[in-house]
Amino acid sequence: MFGEQVSILMREVAADVVMPRFRSLAPGEVAEKTPGEIVTIADREAEERLYEGLSALDIDARILGEEAVSRDPGLLDDIGEGRVWLIDPLDGTANFAAGRFPFGMMIALVEDGEPVEGWIFDPTSGRLCHARRGQGASCDGQPVPVSGRRGRRSPPRAAIGSHFLAPERREALHAFAGRTLDVQPVPRCAAESYVRLVLGQDDIALFQRILPWDHAAGALFLTEAGGKITHWDGAPYRIGGPGKGVLAAADAELWRSASALIFDPAAGLVDLEDSF
């Protein structure tokens, strides 16, 4: 479909806009867009460039970027219908603004709530991950082996995104999960989280917030590589649907074991599903 064209676009925008500002942001180039959430001039300019490029490639689709939606949340209305491009111009903005890694760029093409093509780009290394529904996943042009073929790690390594929980609930969840999982710090960058699952650095990832640009490309990359992702209730992941949270794993067996553990009532997450 659009694989090479979008890859070239992302590389150009990263070279022209993102990397020149890494560790070079002036004080006035970083702002708080919502409490606890920041945006930089690199986010905004990269989104504008990506929007322009995608508009030229596909004139019949809607294009939604994270920063545009932050200014006009109504743009998300009916996101699960029709053909939509989703842009995350700079995932891991807090890391980028602090001058640390990881951060990335993500683009996904979605049709009626289902990702059909996705790109995850790491501007610092040049690593480009791509997936197309029904046609597999690749990293830097090389096919990615199905995750389930690799050897088992014991205990499984889990990145549990719990920073939106109250501290006491976060501690309780991590202590409970830590009985049978190797709980690791999250990278605060979904673009990195999904690649870690596919390339074998992590086995399980839990997310509370499911902003569509954070997960569409990664969910497709993961599933095309043999992984599994669902909402917390086990329903298939869908953009614009009623599902809450996301549980992702490198394969179906890992997903089943993680689901049984993390959603055990004693872990304290079950009663949170209606709060998001």
Whole-number pLDDT of residue 86: 98
Helix (H, G, I), strand (E, B) or coil at 205: strand
Residue 114 confidence (pLDDT):
96
Q: What is the pLDDT of residue 83?
A: 96
Alpha-carbon Rg of the chain, whole angstroms?
18
Provide mean pLDDT across the span 220-244: 94
| Residue 207: count of CB within 10 angstroms of its CB | 23
pLDDT > 50? residue 35: yes
- Which pLDDT band holds residue 270 (cuts at 50, 70, 90)? low
What is the reported pLDDT for 271?
Answer: 59
What is the reported pTM? 0.94
- Domain spans of the chain, in order of start: 3-143, 147-275
142, β-bridge pairs:
139
Please give the Cα distance from 101 to 275 (Å, whole number): 31
Q: Domain 147-275: which CATH class?
A: alpha beta
Query: Mean pLDDT over residues 12-41, rounded?
Result: 94
Range 7-17 average pLDDT: 98
Q: What angle do CA 146, 105, 13 make, to 5 degrees?
A: 130
Percent of the chain with pLDDT strictly greater than 70: 94
- Given 3.40.190.10, 3.30.360.10, 3.90.950.20, 3.30.540.10, which CATH number is that of 3-143? 3.30.540.10
| 81-105 tens-digit pLDDT | 999 999 999 999 999 999 999 999 9
Cβ(197)–Cβ(227) below 8 Å: yes
The phi and psi torsions of 204 (rounded to 5 degrees) equal: -140, 145
State mean pLDDT over 194-201.
94
pLDDT, position 275: 40
Buried b (16+ CB within 10 A) or exposed e, 32-46: eeeeeeebbebbbbb
Over residues 228-233, mean pLDDT: 94
Per-residue pLDDT band for 273 (boundaries 50, 70, 90) equals very low
pLDDT digits (tens, 9 = 90+) for 143-176: 997 654 455 788 999 998 877 677 777 788 888 8
Residue 143: predicted pLDDT: 93
- Res. 248 pLDDT band, cuts 50 70 90: very high
Mean pLDDT confidence for 255-260:
93
pLDDT value for 2: 84
Burial code (b: 16+ CB inside 10 Å, e: under 16) for 171-190 equals ebbbebbeeebbbbebbbbb
